[in-house]
Amino acid sequence: MANDIDCVILWVDGSDKKWLDEKNKYLPDNEKIEFDDDEERFRDFGILKYLFRGIEINAEWFRKVFFVTCGQIPCWLNIHHPKLVLVDHRDFIPAEYLPTFNSHTIELNLHRINGLSQKFVYFNDDMFILKRMSPKDFFRGDQPCDAAILNAFAIQKNEKDFRFLMPINDIEIINKHFDKRKVLKKYWYKYFNIKYGTNVLRTVCLMPWRHFTGFTINHMPYSIKKEYLEELWNKEAEILHRTCLHKFRNSNDVNIWLVMYWQFAKGDFHPRSPKIGFLTKVSDEKEHNREVYSHIIKQKTKLICINDNVSTGYSSIVKTELNQAFQKIYPDKSSFEI
């Protein structure tokens, strides 16, 4: 049934002085602690309203929209909308983890939100709907829709020497609980599916390895069954607990991708083409940004995720240009706006 699928949106206004003062209180003073406090993790380009407009026009079938923040509310939001549920971190995250500036902590506790459906789609605030979508784009029956494409992970560092180890931490847990060869044999038609196109070659090339080496990151709105978050807390409470104790992203964390990988390993998913969405970024490169804006305006895919790689000095320009692009496809206010 379409009306048993909820939408969950996480948002933070990183320019809010009160929030910034609170965040700065918890910044580690030990240089040996690896944490991620990059400005783009918290920057708001003022385009959140277009996510709500996209939901109202192209995915009105969502049962409820759970809007999760640390108590912040956009000035334009209609808090009395019948589908909208405002959720404060304090409403569902255990007190020992609060306050938190780590999105992994928020994600790993979503199953605790009161009234949340067993089936939900989790949106970051940089993910948007561009075209008409059906419930079957996210769930087929009780199965989440996704693309299980094998990959090989490598350790990466960003400009600030933060090691991006979360996918490796996630896959270590998957290998602890699942036998790759048995999974591929049992669900071969889901792992070698024609909907993945040439991406199937990745899986074929990685077949000789006995253990899972990773999955391709489909950084689009995540179709999640709440029961698997609960199951992971039952089976791997220690690592989830350690992650949630970190006030900021830490290289020793696990993240929401672990839940996706868990669904893959259990074979509880319906194959979906990765071309349903477009993962991109805005940066200081004007020509590339124009391609992003064109993709939005021409509505080339059903979904788009726009990562932030903009320097502080150029952010106001990108903010204006992004708003202009979205305004062309969603010019009218939604009922989620005052």
CB atoms within 10 A of CB 224: 28
What are the pLDDT digits (tens) for 54-68?
A: 999 999 999 999 999
Between 3.90.550, 1.10.1060, 3.30.70, 3.30.420, what CATH number should domain 2-329 receive? 3.90.550
Q: Among 188, 190, 202, 191, which Cα is nearest to 140's? A: 190
Look up residue 104 and give its two tokens: 């992994």
State yes or no: pLDDT of 158 exceeds 80: no
What are the pLDDT digits (tens) for 32-58?
A: 555 555 555 567 888 999 999 999 999
What are the pLDDT digits (tens) for 286-300?
A: 999 999 999 999 999
Give residue 191's pLDDT band: very low, low, confident or very high (50, 70, 90): very high
Taking CB atoms within 8 Å and a gap of at least 24, the contacts of 47-51 are 47/128, 47/319, 47/322, 47/323, 47/326, 48/11, 48/74, 48/125, 49/74, 49/76, 49/333, 49/334, 49/336, 49/337, 50/128, 50/326, 50/327, 50/330, 51/9, 51/123, 51/125, 51/127, 51/128, 51/129
Mean pLDDT, residues 159-182 taken together? 87
What are the pLDDT digits (tens) for 102-127?
A: 999 999 999 999 999 999 999 999 99
> In this structure, which amino acid lies at residue 338?
I
Helices (H), the chain: 17-25, 48-58, 89-92, 103-107, 166-177, 180-186, 188-191, 200-205, 226-235, 237-245, 257-265, 286-298, 315-329
Q: For residue 14, what pLDDT is reported?
A: 84
3 state SS of 9: strand
Mean pLDDT, residues 203-229 taken together? 95
3 state SS of 12: coil
State yes or no: pLDDT of 262 exceeds 60: yes
State yes or no: pLDDT of 2 exceeds 60: no
